Amino acid sequence: MKLARLIRILNLVIWSLVIGSLPSSAWAKLKVVTSTTDVAGLVRAIGADDIQLESIARGTQDPHYIEAKPSYMTKLAHADLLVANGLGLEVGWLPSLIRGARNPKLNPGQKGYLELGESVAPLDIPQGTITRAMGDIHPEGNPHFTLDPERMAELAKVVAKRLGELDTSAAPRFSERAESFAKSTAQRMKDWKARVDRLPNKKVVTYHNSLLYFTTRFGLQPVGVLEPKPGIPPSAQHALDIIATMKRENAKAILVDNYFDPKIAHHVERNVPGAKVQVVGIAVESAPGLPTLADVTEGLIQALERVARP
Ligand SMILES: [Zn+2]
């Protein structure tokens, strides 16, 4: 009786040793945490049900300003991989979360840390000395590249490569999905570009400079930004300047990210003949009906089409 019990205990001990020595991927899915829902949108397309995925910021939050909550540190403490946007977007909150998580896998330079911005050709790199007076400026360039479908298709390969390094058994599926993501993006780009080309007026005013990659990719013409400087709320004086610019340039479209207050945009709209404000979700999950990156692009193009409609 005693021996049987001893054998049972020994068995348990041996099994727990075996389980402990195996790579976690043999037993559980790769745990991936992303900084934003846009990054999650890309990672989900590649990882699908081979990974467990969570985003720190919600789509309805301004990704520049996220409160560094202890619960986020717990998420990171258990993660195998953190995928960040980079180019300074999360500089105000992610470094302190990483420090607080005390997970050596996620330290910059480790396989468990991937910053997409490092693999992107940035737009809008500021020239000369950067001062506080310039507003909340990103020294590495504009970080809002997730709104460029073509850059994201390129990044799909970067994500697939890293996921495959961390879970070799699923690597072929990751690269397959990156291929099909790139293919479907290329297909949709044809339709999107054709629709933008048909717009009678390609001039746009935005709230923040978050649509720069989008406007550049689609050949739209940004004529003004409601924020006088990045991160600085619009002033009455600057609104007057924008009204004058829109009248002079014959611009009609005012696109406002849905996490900003559209009040000043509506003030401009009332003062420019034919102007139309469109409050748009510019991030994955920023509004119902935007579960993927393609849905966000589609939503932006539909907003421009609504402005063009008489
Ligand atoms: Zn920004």
Distance (Å) from CA 50 to ligand 1 centroid: 32
Whether 187 shows a pLDDT value over 90: the answer reads: yes
Residue 152 Cα to ligand 1 midpoint, Å, equals 17
Cα 294 to ligand 1 centre (Å):
20
Distance 30 CA to ligand 1 centre (A): 30
> Residues 167-172: what's their mean pLDDT?
97
Q: Ligand 1: distance of its center to the CA of 137 in Å?
A: 8
Strands 203-206 and 221-225 come out as parallel
- Separation of 18 CA from ligand 1 center, angstroms? 48
Which region among 20-24, 25-29, 194-198, 273-277 has the lowest average model confidence (pLDDT)? 20-24
Is the domain 24-118+135-185 a CATH 3.30.1540.10 member? Answer: no
- Matching residue, tokens 């690269």: 175
23 pLDDT above the threshold of 60: no
pLDDT one-digit tens code per residue, 201-258: 999 999 999 999 999 999 999 999 999 988 899 999 999 999 999 999 999 999 999 9
pLDDT tens digit sequence for 99-151: 999 999 998 889 999 999 999 999 988 777 767 667 667 788 999 999 999 99
Q: Report how far residue 162's alpha carbon sits from residue 96's, in angstroms, rounded to the nearest whole number.
A: 24
Euclidean distance between CA atoms 239 and 37, whole angstroms: 31
Chain region(s) in the chain for CATH 3.40.50.1980? 24-118+135-185, 199-308
The answer, yes or no, to whether residue 8 has pLDDT greater than 90, is no
pTM beyond 0.85, yes or no: yes
pLDDT bracket for residue 88 (50, 70, 90): very high
- The percent of residues in the chain predicted with pLDDT above 70, rounded, is 89
pLDDT, tens digit, 9 for 90 and up, residues 29-58: 999 999 999 999 999 999 999 999 999 999
- Of residues 3 and 305, which shows the higher confidence score? 305
87 Cα to the center of ligand 1, angstroms: 10
Angstrom CA distances, 251 to 147, 226, 255, 274, 304, stand at 22, 14, 12, 9, 12
- The set of residues, in sequence order, having a beta carbon less than 8 Å from that of 243 and lying 6+ positions away, is 268, 271, 272
Q: Cα(181) to centroid of ligand 1, in Å?
A: 26
Decide which of 3.40.50.300, 3.40.50.1980, 3.40.1280.10, 3.40.50.620 is the CATH code for 199-308. Answer: 3.40.50.1980
Residue indicated by tokens 């890309």: 42
Q: Give me the chain's average pLDDT, please.
A: 92
Instruction: Give residue 269 CA to ligand 1 midpoint distance, Å.
Output: 23
24 pLDDT band, cuts 50/70/90, is very low
Ligand 1 centre to CA of 22 (Å) is: 42
Instruction: State in Å: Cα 28 to ligand 1 middle.
Output: 36
User: What's the pLDDT band for 300 if we cut at 50, 70, 90?
Assistant: very high
> Is the per-residue pLDDT at 2 higher than 80?
no
Distance 99 CA to ligand 1 centre (A): 23
Identity of the residue numbered 305: E
Q: From ligand 1's centre to the CA of 206, what distance in Å?
A: 12
* pLDDT at position 197 over 70: yes
pLDDT at 231: 85
How remote is the CA of residue 41 from the centroid of ligand 1, in Å? Answer: 19
**CA 101 / ligand 1 centre spacing (Å):** 25
How far does residue 98's CA lie from ligand 1's centre (Å)?
21
* Ligand 1 centre distance from Cα of residue 210 (Å): 5
